[in-house]
């Protein structure tokens, strides 16, 4: 299996939760290397009886720092060292729950973009088995970027949804080709011309969860709103449902239904995936939430290994080649 390098110092609960997650992922067969302050990592490894390898990094990019400047100036930051290991071929994938901006900068400037890629994008796999990108890396984009997002999302769907020919839709305010701003209108025409891409046209926000498309393409601002709205709505619906079932008339049935509800809760829990893919770089990169628990970290690390093992980078590179850009 591919080797995953883990930024052990990234995240609100690092290094404890990140290292615990790495230990869990390693116990399931993932080849993991930790990067960070050995004096803080070693006690966690000792506590859980693990001997995972560590690559020393003496600095950390803090959440409030300017990402690009930090990557330039902090040559020994954990995220920078981790990215360098991927660049040098000593690992094939990277996971970080630290500063998203720092992860983006390290991936773009250290690992490097794939030839032809204008901007890497963050692809999130929704509980409904649909992929939305971009969900935050690029707030403003052009038609060419949206076209590339469609191609990159297609590759992610092939790997993680295990689909032979994923359906790609462009998020818009209506299904007709002439709908939306000039951005969407031009992108619609470009996506329709990409060789080998199963572009089905425009989709709307309400189509999420309705089996209309497998990949939803949009800018990072809109995608992030879709992501956060989906997370909040699913949690609210689950809470309302559970509150309603507390009524006396449902108590007899509740015990039988509880396992199904717990399975549903796990399915809609963002920690089940653990992170989102940054696609368009020369290595697999998975970005976790800053508040990632050890469970989320373990799932994200495993997902990173699977992406590398299934040739995600090569699939993206091949798809970008078909855009003619």
Identify the pLDDT of residue 270: 67
| Percent of the chain whose pLDDT exceeds 90 | 77
Q: Over 90: is that where the pLDDT of 252 sits?
A: no
* Confidence category of residue 261, pLDDT binned at 50, 70, 90: confident
CB atoms within 10 A of CB 29: 9
Identify the pLDDT of residue 263: 76
Enter the pTM of the model: 0.91
| Cβ pair 41, 17 in contact under 8 A | no
Q: Over 70: is that where the pLDDT of 86 sits?
A: yes
Average pLDDT over residues 286-290: 93
CB atoms within 10 A of CB 220: 21
- At 142 the three-state DSSP class reads coil
Q: How far apart are CA 84 and CA 7, in angstroms?
A: 12
Average pLDDT over residues 75-81: 96
Looking at per-residue pLDDT, the higher value among 237 and 298 belongs to 298
The strand ranges marked E within 204-242 are 215-217
User: pLDDT, tens digit, for every residue of 13-52?
Assistant: 999 999 999 999 999 999 999 999 999 999 999 999 999 9
| Cβ pair 102, 67 in contact under 8 A | yes
Identify the pLDDT of residue 239: 84
Exposure b/e, 124-144, CB count within 10 A at least 16 = b: bbbbeebbbbbbbbbeebebe
User: pLDDT, tens digit, for every residue of 144-182?
Assistant: 999 999 999 999 999 999 999 999 999 999 988 888 899
- At 265 the three-state DSSP class reads helix
Element (H, E) at 30: none
Two tokens, residue 106: 């390290």
- At 123 the three-state DSSP class reads strand
Identify the pLDDT of residue 233: 83
Identify the pLDDT of residue 258: 74
Q: Over 90: is that where the pLDDT of 311 sits?
A: yes
Domains along the chain?
Answer: 1-117+280-310 (3.40.718.10), 119-271 (3.40.718.10)
Average pLDDT over residues 75-93: 97
Average pLDDT over residues 106-111: 96
Q: Over 60: is that where the pLDDT of 285 sits?
A: yes
DSSP designation for 112: I
CB atoms within 10 A of CB 118: 18
Looking at per-residue pLDDT, the higher value among 240 and 282 belongs to 282
């Amino acid at each position: 299996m591919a080797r995953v390098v883990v930024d052990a110092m990234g995240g609100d609960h690092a290094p404890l939760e990140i290292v615990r997650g790495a230990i869990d992922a390693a116990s399931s067969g993932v080849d993991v290397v930790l990067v960070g302050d050995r004096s803080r990592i070693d006690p966690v490894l000792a506590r859980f009886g693990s001997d995972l390898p560590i690559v020393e990094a003496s600095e950390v990019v803090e959440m409030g720092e300017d990402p690009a400047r930090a990557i330039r100036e902090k040559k020994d930051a954990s995220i920078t060292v981790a990215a360098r290991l991927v660049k040098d071929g000593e690992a094939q994938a990277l996971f970080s729950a630290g500063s998203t901006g720092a992860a983006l900068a390290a991936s773009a400037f250290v690992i490097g973009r794939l030839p032809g890629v204008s901007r890497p994008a963050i692809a999130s796999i929704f509980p409904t088995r649909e992929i939305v990108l971009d969900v935050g890396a690029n707030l403003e984009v052009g038609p060419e970027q949206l076209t590339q997002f469609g191609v990159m999302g297609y590759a992610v769907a092939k790997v993680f949804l295990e689909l032979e020919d994923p359906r790609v839709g462009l998020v818009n305010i209506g299904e007709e080709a002439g709908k939306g701003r000039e951005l969407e209108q031009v992108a619609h025409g470009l996506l329709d011309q990409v060789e080998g891409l199963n572009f089905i046209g425009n989709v709307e926000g309400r189509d999420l969860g309705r089996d209309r498309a497998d990949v939803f393409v949009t800018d990072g601002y809109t995608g992030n709103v879709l992501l956060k709205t989906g997370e909040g709505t699913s949690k609210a619906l689950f809470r309302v449902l559970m509150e309603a079932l507390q009524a006396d008339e449902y108590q007899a049935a509740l015990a039988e239904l509880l396992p199904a509800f717990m399975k549903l809760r796990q399915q809609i829990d963002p920690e089940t995936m653990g992170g989102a893919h940054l696609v368009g770089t020369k290595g697999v990169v998975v970005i976790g939430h800053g508040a990632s628990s050890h469970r989320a970290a373990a799932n994200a690390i495993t997902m990173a290994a699977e992406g590398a093992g299934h040739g995600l980078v090569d699939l993206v590179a091949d798809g970008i080649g078909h855009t003619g850009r």
